[in-house]
Amino acid sequence: MESIWEKTVHLPKFESLRNDIRADVLVIGGGLAGLLCAYELTQAGVDCVLAEAGRLCGGVTKNTTAKLTVQHGLIYHKLLKEFGPERTRAYLEANQAALKRFRTLCRDIPCDFEERPSYVYSLDSRKELEQELAALDKLGHPAVLADKVPLPFPVAGAVRFDRQAQFNPLKFAAGLLNGLKIFEHTRVLEVKTGEAVTGGGRIRADHIVVATHFPFLNKFGCYWLKMYQSRSYVLALEGGPNLDGMYVDGSGKGLSFRNDHNLLLLGGGGHRTGKQGGGWAVLEDFTRRHYPGAQPVCRWAAQDCMTLDGAPYIGLYSPRLPRLYVVTGFNKWGMTSSIVAANLVTDLILGRDCPYQEVFSPSRSVFHPQLAVNAGESSLNLLTPTRPRCPHLGCALKYNPQEHSWDCPCHGSRFAEGGQLLDGPATGDLPHPPPKHSKA
């Protein structure tokens, strides 16, 4: 299972840490969010070190569909109800600034950057599209209601944003590396005040940024309760149509589309990690029915952290830890959110005013229905007496027959059939190999 980005780009290798070092800032995690944090801090003159447990961009970044857009589903009318106009406008402006920053960086980084319109369609609800347009009008953002889209099924319409973009994320990441201090295969085992302990040495730093996709420090912030993880699947099709745009279902349960050169990237089949879902079978069936001449040439899956209210958690890890920061919960929109995170964290560390701080604060209200769902899922799987158990917080793992992995329904850690760690927040392999090919 290898994405098209992995097939076209091979990032350089970096040594692991072998002694104690000192820096102004330590960034933990070498996905695009961590890389951008390190890049922006270094550009600002900060002595910054990045530590990655495996290989750079070896997690979600290599498996994204790489859409650069401020249109994160039909979100703005929901955010207006949740946050009010001022904070919703801050969310929009933060992502507009991120898209602008991408345009600037991509002028000097050859990464297949292309402007495309972005569409969020609805299969059956014209009303929710009109609600979104009304919200965007209130926020002063231009959008168009499209009656027809070039998709092979009827829709009620779609909200279109012009001048959005797409790119190759690994080519972009490669363009950020010059001048950065990076250690690969350097897993952080413990974080103390002003210090991180790794297997190869200690990293002392005035500020520490946790950019590990799902935060791995459980004592603070309650991220294990404020988030869950979701799997989604992609087929790269040869012989599919050129749709001249990026498309996603506004319900969050349907399909997504974008082209990359001569390929059509078809996404969908998603489900909560550890639960059963359609996976690639949904995409294969759709291809047979609607694009019978297309052939899959590549398939892969992604995993995303989902927050309680649809906005990421970016800022202080906990009010009790004034120099520890977190970037997480990108809700399937990790590309623009990564630059939002880098900009905000840089401002916080340098003591600059940031108008977006409140809307992304990890300490904002947790009183949402999803909190009860997350708590119920954790309780159920903690009490389930089966093995194997996740070493993160002890939940019962479920076998994923499509990907041949053991997945945690509580917090999304995943393990290979041999017990090797695939995805966090767990920080190590299973202590004993799980039973083979069981569907327990």
pLDDT by residue (tens digit) across 22-50?
A: 999 999 999 999 999 999 999 999 999 99
What's the CATH code, domain 369-423? 2.102.10.10
Per-residue confidence band for 439, with pLDDT thresholds at 50, 70 and 90: very low
- What is the spatial distance between Cα 281 and Cα 403, in angstroms, rounded to a whole number? 12
- What is the spatial distance between Cα 2 and Cα 250, in angstroms, rounded to a whole number? 27
- What is the spatial distance between Cα 361 and Cα 343, in angstroms, rounded to a whole number? 14
Q: How confident is the model over 122-128, as a mean pLDDT?
A: 93
Which amino acid, 193? T
Per-residue buried b or exposed e for 292-306, using 16+ beta carbons within 10 Å of the residue's own CB: eebebebbbbbbbbb
- What is the spatial distance between Cα 290 and Cα 160, in angstroms, rounded to a whole number? 23
Which pLDDT value is given to residue 436? 78
Predicted TM-score (pTM) of this structure: 0.94
Structure tokens that stand for 305 in this block = 């952290």
Q: CB count, 10 Å around CB of 195? A: 15
Q: Is domain 4-64+171-225+310-360 given the CATH code 3.50.50.60 in the classification?
A: yes
State the chain's mean pLDDT as an integer.
94
pLDDT by residue (tens digit) across 54-86?
A: 999 999 999 999 999 999 999 999 999 999 999
Specify the residue for token string 């078809």.
Answer: 266
Structure tokens that stand for 296 in this block = 């899959």
pLDDT by residue (tens digit) across 308-366?
A: 999 999 999 999 899 999 999 999 999 999 999 999 999 999 999 988 999 999 999 88
Ramachandran area for residue 261 (φ above 0: left; ψ -120 to 50: alpha; else beta): left
Domain chopping of the chain, boundaries:
4-64+171-225+310-360, 369-423
- What is the spatial distance between Cα 114 and Cα 166, in angstroms, rounded to a whole number? 5
Q: What is the DSSP string of 228-248?
A: EEEEEEEEEEET----SSEEE
Residues 6+ apart with CB under 8 A from 400: 274, 406, 407, 414
Q: CB count, 10 Å around CB of 272? A: 18
**Residue 33 contacts residue 337 (beta carbons within 8 Å):** yes
Per-residue confidence band for 126, with pLDDT thresholds at 50, 70 and 90: very high
